[in-house]
Amino acid sequence: MYVNMIGTSGQSGFLAATDGSVSLNPGQTEIRLTAAEQPIGDVLRVEYKWEYDYDWYKPWDWPLFTTPKILVDTIKILDLESQTTFTFCSPGGSLKAGNTYIFYPGSC
């Protein structure tokens, strides 16, 4: 999973929100920590993308005719300086592996 935080004074560039592969389960809440290397100001939007990691030892699980999808409802970002949490809402629907999706601020 990767996030690019776009702020009033710059952007973070895509940062890895996971350390390698992770297993996801329906209804599960994921909490990840990542930080921009430079101040980016107030976050205006978040770009999110993920990649499907094929298990080489389970070829029967490879999605040969479909694209893997996940559902992400919200992304929350904590500004450590102000201790303020910002909520960004999903564009809706399933998020396909390899595509980039934009999350905008709101109350989802």
- Spell out the long-range contacts of 11-15 with Cβ–Cβ below 8 A and sequence spacing 24 or more: 11/36, 11/40, 12/36, 12/37, 12/40, 14/47, 14/49
**Which pLDDT belongs to residue 60?**
67
pTM over 0.85: no
**Which pLDDT belongs to residue 25?**
82
Q: What is the pLDDT of residues 42-86, one digit of tens each?
A: 899 999 999 887 766 666 666 666 678 889 999 999 888 888 899
